[in-house]
């Protein structure tokens, strides 16, 4: 079973600011997260205000990116709500 995915306005704005090649990679990885969030996610700690996080490497435009997707489960636990998309370029 795959969870539905929703973005908060903040997360949508962050996602819209990504370079297209990175955004495509992030969407692919969010699809994987929706299939198994309890295995792929982990507690985000203080840095992410108690959210779950899913972190992974991406590449594009001759750069490497460390990508963090902060999320929580909806109240009815049928959807993942993406709260933030943070990238660091290396």
For residue 41, the domain's CATH number is 3.30.2310.20
Total number of domains in the chain: 1
- What average pLDDT does the segment 21-50 reach? 92
Cα–Cα separations (whole angstroms), residue 27 to 48, 50, 62, 79: 20, 23, 19, 15
Average pLDDT, the chain: 92
| Angle between helix 9-16 and helix 20-35 axes, rounded to 10 deg | 140
Instruction: Give the model confidence (pLDDT) of 53-67 as tens digits.
Output: 999 998 876 789 999
- Predicted confidence at residue 46, as pLDDT, reads 82
Weakest mean pLDDT among 8-12, 32-36, 41-45: 41-45
pTM greater than 0.85 (yes/no): yes
Number of helices followed by number of strands (H, E) in the chain: 3, 5
Instruction: Write out the residue range of the structural domain in which residue 55 sits.
Output: 4-89
pLDDT of 56:
96
């Amino acid at each position: 079973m795959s969870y539905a995915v929703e973005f908060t306005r903040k997360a949508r704005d962050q996602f819209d600011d990504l370079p297209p090649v990175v955004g495509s990679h992030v969407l692919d990885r969010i699809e994987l997260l929706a299939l198994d969030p309890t295995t792929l996610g982990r507690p985000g700690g203080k840095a992410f205000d108690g959210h779950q996080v899913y972190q992974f490497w991406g590449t594009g435009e001759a750069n490497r990116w460390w990508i963090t997707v902060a999320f929580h489960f909806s109240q009815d636990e049928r959807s993942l709500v993406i709260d933030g998309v943070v990238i660091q370029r290396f």
